[in-house]
Amino acid sequence: MAELPDPTASLVGPDRSAFDHMASARAYAEGRSSLGDVYVRMFNNPGVAQKVGALGEHLRFHGTLPDPVRELVILRYAARVRVGYEWSHHQRPARLAGVNQDTIDALTAGEVPRGIPDDWQAALEAVDAVVAGRSIPADIQQRFVAAHGNAGIVELVVICGLYGIMADMVNAFDVKVEPGLPTAPF
**Residue spans of beta strands (DSSP E) within the chain:** none
Domain end, chosen from 41, 62, 83, is at: 62
Question: Quick one: 72 and 53 in the same domain?
Answer: no
Print the domain residue range for 86.
67-172
33 in a domain, yes or no? Answer: yes
Residue 45 shares a structural domain with residue 86: no
φ/ψ region of 24 (left if φ > 0, alpha if ψ in -120 to 50, else beta) reads alpha
Number of domains in the chain: 2
State the DSSP code for 90: T
Which domain CATH number covers 137?
1.20.1290.10
Q: Are residues 45 and 27 in the same domain?
A: yes
What is the three-class DSSP state of 104?
helix
Do 46 and 11 meet the contact criterion of CB atoms below 8 Å apart?
Answer: yes
Q: Under 8 Å CB-to-CB from 91, ≥6 apart: which residues? A: 104, 181, 182
Same domain, 54 and 89: no
- Of the candidates 58, 186, 77, 61, the residue with the CA atom closest to the CA atom of residue 123: 77
Residue 154 lies in a domain: yes
Task: Give the pLDDT confidence score for residue 26 in this predicted structure.
Answer: 81
User: 12: exposed, middle or buried (C-beta count within 10 Å: 0-12, 13-18, 19+)?
Assistant: exposed
Residues 142 and 71 in one domain: yes
Question: Per-residue pLDDT tens for 109-154?
Answer: 989 899 999 999 999 999 999 999 999 999 999 999 999 999 999 9
pTM of the model: 0.94
End position of a domain, from candidates 21, 41, 62: 62
pLDDT category at 33 given cuts 50, 70, 90 is low
